Amino acid sequence: MADEAPSMEEKLAQLRAQYAVKIQEQVHQLDLLLKNLPHASDIERQDIFAKIRDATHKLAGSGATFGFPDVTVHARSMEQACIAVLDTNGDAGQGIEDTLKQHCDQLRDAVGVEDQNAMQSHVDVARPPAPQLHGSSRLTVLIVMEYDDATAAQTHLEMDHFGFNSRIIDHPSKLINDIQTNGPVDAIIAGLVFDDDEKATLKVLEEFRKDEQNHAIPIVVHTALDSIESRLGAVRIGVKAYLLKPVDMADMVDVLDHVTQHHEDEPFRVLVIDDDESLARHTEIVLQSAGMSTEIVTDPMELFRALDNFSPELILLDLYMPGCNGQEIAAIVRQREEYAGIPIVFLSGESDKDKQLLAMELGGDDFLTKPIRASHLISSVRIRASRFRKLRSFMARDSMTGLFNHTTTKQLLDNEVARVQRINGTMALAALDIDHFKKVNDNYGHAVGDRVIKALARLLRQRLRSADVIGRMGGEEFAAILPDSDLDQAKQVFNQVREAFSNIVFHTGDQSFGATFSCGVAAFPHSGTATELSDAADKALYVAKRNGRNQVVKAESALD
Partner 1 sequence: MSTAEISKILYVEDDPDIQVVAKMALETVGGYTLCVCSSGQEALDHGEEFAPDLILLDVMMPEMDGPTTLVNLRTISALEQTPAVFMTAKVMPSDVERYKELGAVDVIAKPFDPMALASRIQEIWSECRGG
Q: Which parts of this chain interact with partner 1 (CB under 8 A)?
A: 4, 7-8, 11-12, 15, 18-19, 22, 54, 57-58, 60-66, 72, 76
Query: 72 vs 527, which CB is nearer to partner 1?
Result: 72
Strands (E), 130-179: 140-145, 164-169
For 33, 99, 139, 187, 483, the CA distances from 166, given in Å and listed in that order, are: 45, 41, 10, 10, 31
| Cα separation values, 377 from 284, 288, 370, Å | 11, 12, 10
Residues 6+ apart with CB under 8 A from 87: none
Torsions phi, psi of 474, nearest 5? Answer: 130, 145
| Helical ranges in 1-138 per DSSP H | 4-36, 42-62, 69-87, 95-125
CB of 284 to partner 1, least distance (A): 43
| Strand-pair partners of 194 | 197
* CB nearer partner 1, residue 19 or residue 268: 19
Q: How far is the CB of 57 from partner 1 (least distance, A)?
A: 6
For partner 1, give the closer residue by CB, 4 or 196: 4
Radius of gyration of the CA atoms of the chain, in A: 32
Q: Shortest distance, CB of residue 67 to partner 1, whole angstroms? A: 9
Q: Give the distance from CA 103 to its chain's centroid.
A: 42
Nearer to partner 1 among residue 86 and residue 193 (C-beta) = 86
Where do the H-state alpha helices sit in 126-148?
none
Nearest approach, Cβ of 18 to partner 1 (angstroms)? 8
| 61 or 246: CB nearest partner 1 | 61
Instruction: Give the span between the Cα atoms of 274 and 319, in whole angstroms.
Output: 8
d(CA 552, CA 177): 44
Contact at 8 Å (CB) between 367 and 360? yes
CB of 121 to partner 1, least distance (A): 15
Closest to partner 1 by CB, 9 vs 148, is: 9
Q: Which is nearer to partner 1, 54 or 197 (CB)?
A: 54
15 burial via Cβ count (<10 Å: 0-12, 13-18, 19+): middle
3-state secondary structure at position 473: strand
Q: Which is nearer to partner 1, 65 or 165 (CB)?
A: 65
Q: At closest approach, how far in Å is the CB of 6 from partner 1?
A: 11
Q: Which residues of 228-253 are buried (b: 16+ CB within 10 A; e: fewer)?
A: eebbebbeebebbbbbeeebbbbebb
> Which C-beta is closer to partner 1: that of 52 or that of 307?
52
Please report, as a single letter, which amino acid is at residue 407.
Answer: T
Angle of helix 249-260 relative to helix 446-463, nearest 10 degrees?
Answer: 50
Beta carbon nearer to partner 1, 15 or 225: 15
Q: In angstroms, rounded to a whole number, what is the distance separating the alpha carbons of residues 317 and 362?
A: 13
Three-state SS at 16:
helix
DSSP state for residue 136 in the 8-state scheme: S
- Choose among 467, 435, 464: nearest CA to 452: 435
What is the number of residues in the chain? 560
Q: What residues contact residue 403 under an 8 Å CB cut-off, 6+ apart?
A: 397, 457, 460, 461, 470, 471, 472, 478
In the complex with partner 1, which residue's Cβ is closer, 72 or 409? 72
> Strands of 314-318's sheet, edge to edge?
293-297, 269-273, 314-318, 344-348, 366-369
Least distance (Å) between residue 15 CB and partner 1: 6
117 contacts: CB under 8 Å, gap ≥ 6: none
User: Residue 142 is which amino acid?
Assistant: L
Measured from the CB atom, is 15 or 331 closer to partner 1? 15
Give 111 or 321: the residue with its C-beta nearer to partner 1. Answer: 111
* Residue number with CB closer to partner 1 (104 or 457): 104
Interacting residues of 157 by C-beta distance below 8 A, sequence separation 6+? 503
